[in-house]
Amino acid sequence: MTLHTINTGFFKLDGGAMFGVVPKSIWQKTNPADENNLCTWAMRCLLVEDGKQLTLIDNGIGNKQDAKFLSHYHLHGDDNLLKSLHNAGFHEDDVTDMFLTHLHFDHCGGSITYESGKPVPTFRNATYWSNRDHWKWATEPNPREKASFLPENILPIQESGHLNFIDINQRPQIAADKGLPISVNQWSIYYASGHTDKMMIPMIRYGQKTICFMADLLPSVGHIPLPYVMGYDTRPLLTMEEKARFLNEAAEKKYILFLEHDPVNECCTVKQTEKGVRVDAVFKLSEINHRNQP
């Protein structure tokens, strides 16, 4: 198995929204804001190469939205989804499985593109993976999250016939219908419902290590202290419980946390301190090399 970082560019969000009740005088030490109180965030995805199977975890904001929509988020940087895939040595048609942690637009916007004015899957040979509970949550959205669940990102996945669901009551066996299962000994999923209902945090056994794709349970190193919870979260108190449970286990078992939104740090580990769980080390995914593992 080989893991590849897939950078899809940067965008900006309001710093206060990203840190909830934490005062700006504190959070700006780790995530400085511009003159409009906007902070820069990454949209960093993960590509899992395992034999004939190529699984992409999340796919960024995409490029099909109109200029007015995109102007709210100040997209910038030299990277985009397809460019990064190509730089890693792959074509979008090579992707066999598209794993969606959740269906907010900055995580699934690259799922669908337009050809001759019609929506089609960007990864035409891939099965797209969600779970039934979250799919229902996203397609019958509450008023608070409705602006984040864009129908044009979501509904064409099902209409194309590419959608499949992971059973939340079982360990995942992605692509088992195609005879290319991801080993249950290599993948597990932590379900978190504080940010949005049944968000999936994939945990991948990689050599002797466990790599956890943190999605919006832990957007950045700056969000490690428990009260640092996004204003976007639908159930912030539940987020704190889920984050505490996960980070305590991560510190004990030395998980590597892959950070989707941190603008600087790709990965980190955490440790227990007298103030609670805090960052231990930060590093790039490329520094973890198990290319020659059996």
Angstrom distance (rounded) from CA 116 to CA 252? 52
Produce one character per residue of 52-79: b if its CB has 16 or more CB atoms within 10 Å, e if not: ebbbbbbbbbbbbbeeeeeeebebeeeb
With 0.85 as the threshold, say if the pTM is over it: yes
Tell me, what amino acid is at 184?
V
Assess if CATH 3.40.50.300 describes domain 2-287.
Answer: no
Instruction: Convert the pLDDT of each residue in 105-144 to its tens digit.
Output: 999 999 999 988 899 999 999 999 999 999 999 999 999 9
- What residue ranges do the domains of the chain occupy? 2-287
Q: What is the DSSP string of 253-270?
A: HT-EEE-SS-SS-SEEEE
pLDDT of residue 50: 87
Environment class of 127 (CB within 10 Å of its CB; exposed 0-12, middle 13-18, buried 19+): buried
Collapse the DSSP code of 95 into the 3-class scheme (helix H, G, I; strand E, B; otherwise coil) and give the result. coil
Task: Of 198, 201, 103, give the one whose Cα is nearest residue 156.
Answer: 103
The number of residues making up the chain comes to: 294
Task: Name the least confident of 87-91, 137-141, 173-177, 222-226.
Answer: 173-177
Instruction: Convert the pLDDT of each residue in 13-55 to its tens digit.
Output: 999 999 999 999 999 988 999 999 999 999 999 999 988 889 9
Angstrom distance (rounded) from CA 39 to CA 36? 9
